[in-house]
Amino acid sequence: MTFERVFAALALVACVLLLLRLAIGARRRARVDLALRRAMGAVRRSGAGLRAGMLSLRHRREAAREAEAVIERARKRSGGEWDGNVYRPKSFRKPPRDKMH
């Protein structure tokens, strides 16, 4: 099937559904419209939740990569020592006391 035929079939289905909507009474039409609005709202909310979840997952992955990079830079940096998982740089050491005073 070509794109034109698929598009034409979708247009025909939409027209038939709109014609059926007009054929039913006003009360049923209101109920159908309300049901469609609720369904579209549910689809939007689930789509928004899915999008937020995917963004959260991407942010967590980026944060993990950045944390690994920071840890690796700290390991490679000279001038400090590791005590278990604690890094103590030499710049944090106190200078020797002045014995003259």
Residue range 3-62, pLDDT digits in tens: 899 999 999 999 999 999 999 989 999 999 999 999 999 999 998 988 888 889 889 999
Q: At what angle do helices 3-23 and 26-76 cross, to 10 degrees?
A: 130
Give the Å distances, CA to CA, from 30 to 2, 25, 71.
Answer: 37, 9, 61
Task: Give dist(CA 40, CA 15) in Å, integer.
Answer: 19
Phi, psi of 96, deg, nearest 5: -65, 145
Phi, psi of 66, deg, nearest 5: -65, -40
Instruction: Please report which confidence band the pLDDT of residue 101 belongs to, taking 50, 70 and 90 as the band edges.
Output: low
Asked if residue 91 lies in contact with residue 81, where contact means CB atoms within 8 angstroms, the answer is no
Residue range 51-98, pLDDT digits in tens: 888 889 889 999 999 999 998 887 776 667 778 888 777 777 777 777
